[in-house]
Chains A and B, each alone.
Chain A
Amino acid sequence: MLLDIQNLTKRFGGLTAVSNVSFGVERGEIVGIFGPNGSGKTTTLSLIAGILKPTSGAIVWKDRDISTLTPFEVAQQGLVKTFQNPQLFPELTVAQHMRIACHLHVKRALGIGRLRTLFSGMPAELDRTLEHKIGQMLELCRLSSQRNDEAGALSYGGEKMLGVAMGMVCDPELLLLDEPASGLGHDEITNLDAVLRDLKSHGVTLCIIDHKVGFLGRLADRSIALHHGAVIATGKTEDVLANEAVVAAYLGKKHA
């Protein structure tokens, strides 16, 4: 198992945001986590990404507990998270964003040899590799035409796509997507759906959270439904969606 969440619990003062959650993610699959607002989805993802520290429980990544690591260490382990509200570097262009996101790639390629680049500059070969990779990823995320635009000028959907592209250029083994579809229009969701399917065909493992059941239902191989911070159903996506508890807690509430 690539990622194994064991009895994860997070309390904020008296409030239990995540309660005894356990699930696993296998290599190459798309796992959906869904639930209504406030059900603990984002908290769970933040715990995995090291942004929050769990009250108890373990996050086992390739047989090692990573629950005490800081966010950048988690990212270095190959677990990268995108943000629900797109996070940008103001003033910089799309290409410059991607270049910063190549940090881990450069680090892996050169290691301590990076010190030499202080005198000699970046090796031309690595530079070409990065440019190629950035071009490829922007192509995949349908951002090639805006490559030299300031990222602030992108549409909301474009900004979210840039987040996915930056996450992907880190070469993650598992990409955590925090509500990638929220706030997007119909066309943008179709586009996102296609991008994520492309990513899957490239062998990327994805863990996606969303409250839009429809979007996630088509995409995820397996799903986990959360309610009040606890797992109420898990299994194949269509089974989970048909589960009575899920319908009652989630859909029922929504339509009531």
Chain B
Amino acid sequence: MKYAIAVGLLLALVAPAVVHSDSILAIAIYGFMAASLAVSFNLIFGFTGQLSMFHAASFGVSAYVVTILVTTFKWNFWLAIIPALVVVMILSLIVGTICFRFKLKEFYFAVVTMAFSEVLRLITLNWNSVTNGSLGITVVDKPSIWTPSGSFAISSGVSWYYLTLALLVIVYIICHRILASWIGRCLAAIRLNDQLGETLGIDVFKYKLLSFAIGSVLAGLVGAFYGFYSGFVEPHYFSIPLGLDIIAMVLLGGVNSLIGPVIGALVLTALPHVIELSAELRIALYGSILIFVILVMPKGIVGLLTSRKHAA
């Protein structure tokens, strides 16, 4: 598996030299961002067992904060990421503290996080003076980086490709390091039997909150970049369907694996472009995949691949 991941990364690094199609690059860029979202979501859902419906909201809040700071207040893009992540962290700590302090589990946790993200969506939708309501904000600025030969705007497809690939690698490594550490063991204990974990001295509340906050902040990191690539931010970012897309990606790829969500996200991002589909049928396809995966292959693509290997 490790070799497969390394080969995949290597291929991803050299791909732009071979592939010159802008549309394929765009699919890859959206795929990398979706994969980063899915990996960070899986930290909360797959590894800690908490079905958060707040992920799209973390993503959206950060996208809005960065965009408003850059377009309205003329901040530097990279500097604007910091307050955006701080805002997401504070929100996730508040929501997480309320949910976990009162021991809301499974369904209750899902519904209450959904409620919080709906409230945030309504605020974005109605706070016209700042968020421009349902129309959203158009983003014309592009982030730039400094090089010895002057500043270099990240506007071309290839530069965005490497930027988002780096984002995915960073998110992946952070989650990997966390799961390989003692924190990963605590999260597994919470997911599998939190009562037992508690009697063994694990601070269930603290580690649940930690996983929720880290996952949400990583979603915020993706959100910060997303609007600058797509060119606009809109209240739709907070929507429940976006949250469901992330769940579908994670389940399709494999819920108890780190690389699974990456595979699921890339497949589901590319699929509508590979087969010509209308918007309605695309939604139907996502729904069907969700149902099919849960009932027929609960361990996702990765589960399918690894069980083949065991059988062979």
A contacts B directly (C-beta below 8 A): yes
Q: Does any Cβ of B come within 8 Å of A241's Cβ? A: no
Q: Does any Cβ of B come within 8 Å of A26's Cβ? A: no
> Which residues on B sit within 8 Å (CB–CB) of A33?
none
Contact in complex: A100, B197 (CB < 8 Å) = yes
Contact in complex: A92, B201 (CB < 8 Å) = no
Q: Given contacts A90-B193, A117-B181, A118-B178, are A80 and B200 in contact (CB under 8 A)?
A: yes
Of the listed stretches A67-75, A132-140, A208-216, chain B binds A67-75
Q: Give min CB distance, A27 to chain B, whole Å.
A: 20
Of the listed stretches B56-64, B121-129, B183-191, chain A binds B183-191
Q: Does any Cβ of A come within 8 Å of B259's Cβ? A: no
Flag A70-114 by CB within 8 Å of B: 1 or 0 each: 111001100011010001111110000001110110110000001
Residue of B nearest to A99 (CB): B185
Q: Give min CB distance, A52 to chain B, whole Å.
A: 13
Contact in complex: A89, B193 (CB < 8 Å) = yes
Q: Given contacts A99-B185, A103-B185, A118-B178, are A72 and B198 in contact (CB under 8 A)?
A: yes
> Which residues on B sit within 8 Å (CB–CB) of A92?
188, 192
Q: Does any Cβ of B come within 8 Å of A12's Cβ? A: no
Instruction: State in angstroms the CA–CA spacing of A166 and B203 once bound together.
Output: 17
Q: Does any Cβ of A come within 8 Å of B177's Cβ? A: yes
Residue of B nearest to A114 (CB): B182
186-229 of chain B: CB within 8 A of chain A:
186, 188-189, 192-193, 195-204
Contact in complex: A114, B200 (CB < 8 Å) = no
Q: Given contacts A89-B189, A92-B192, A100-B185, are A70 and B180 in contact (CB under 8 A)?
A: no
Contact in complex: A76, B185 (CB < 8 Å) = no
Q: Does any Cβ of B come within 8 Å of A31's Cβ? A: no
Contact in complex: B185, A81 (CB < 8 Å) = no
Q: Does any Cβ of B come within 8 Å of A170's Cβ? A: yes
Q: Give min CB distance, A121 to chain B, whole Å.
A: 7
Contact in complex: B198, A103 (CB < 8 Å) = no
> Which residues on B sit within 8 Å (CB–CB) of A167?
200
Q: Does any Cβ of B come within 8 Å of A49's Cβ? A: yes
Contact in complex: A117, B182 (CB < 8 Å) = yes
**B198 touches which one: A70, A106, A119 (CB < 8 A)?**
A70
> Which residues on A sit within 8 Å (CB–CB) of B192?
89-92
**A118 touches which one: B177, B198, B202, B204 (CB < 8 A)?**
B177
Q: Give min CB distance, B194 to chain A, whole Å.
A: 10
Number of interface residues of B (CB under 8 A): 22
Q: Given contacts A88-B193, A89-B192, are A104 and B182 in contact (CB under 8 A)?
A: no
Q: Given contacts A72-B201, A103-B202, A117-B181, are A87 and B196 in contact (CB under 8 A)?
A: yes
Q: Given contacts A88-B193, A92-B188, A103-B186, are A75 and B201 in contact (CB under 8 A)?
A: yes
Instruction: State in angstroms the CA–CA spacing of A88 and B200 once bound together.
Output: 12
Contact in complex: A71, B199 (CB < 8 Å) = yes
Q: Give min CB distance, B241 to chain A, whole Å.
A: 31
Contact in complex: B181, A100 (CB < 8 Å) = no
Q: Give min CB distance, A116 to chain B, whole Å.
A: 10
> Which residues on B sit within 8 Å (CB–CB) of A166?
200
> Which residues on A sit within 8 Å (CB–CB) of B185?
99-100, 103
Instruction: State in angstroms the CA–CA spacing of A90 and B202 once bound together.
Output: 17
Q: Give min CB distance, A47 to chain B, whole Å.
A: 14
Residue of B nearest to A88 (CB): B193
Contact in complex: B201, A170 (CB < 8 Å) = yes
Residue of B nearest to A78 (CB): B201
Q: Give min CB distance, B299 to chain A, whole Å.
A: 11
Contact in complex: B193, A87 (CB < 8 Å) = yes
Q: Given contacts A92-B188, A103-B182, A114-B181, are A80 and B199 in contact (CB under 8 A)?
A: yes
28-82 of chain B: CB within 8 A of chain A:
none
Contact in complex: B204, A89 (CB < 8 Å) = no
Contact in complex: B181, A71 (CB < 8 Å) = no
Q: Give min CB distance, A106 to chain B, whole Å.
A: 5
Contact in complex: A88, B196 (CB < 8 Å) = yes
Instruction: State in angstroms the CA–CA spacing of A81 and B199 once bound together.
Output: 7
Instruction: State in angstroms the CA–CA spacing of A51 and B186 once bound together.
Output: 19
Flag A191-227 by CB within 8 Å of B: 1 or 0 each: 0000000000000000000000000000000000000
Q: Give min CB distance, B100 to chain A, whole Å.
A: 12
| 4 shortest interchain CB distances as A-B pairs | A75-B201, A89-B192, A104-B201, A87-B196
- Footprint of B on A, CB under 8 Å? 49, 51, 70-72, 75-76, 80-81, 83, 87-92, 99-101, 103-104, 106-107, 114, 117-119, 121-122, 166-167, 170
Q: List 22 A-B contacts (CB under 8 A).
A: A71-B198, A72-B200, A72-B202, A80-B201, A83-B199, A87-B199, A90-B192, A100-B186, A100-B202, A103-B182, A103-B200, A103-B201, A103-B202, A107-B182, A107-B201, A114-B182, A118-B177, A121-B180, A122-B182, A167-B200, A170-B200, A170-B201
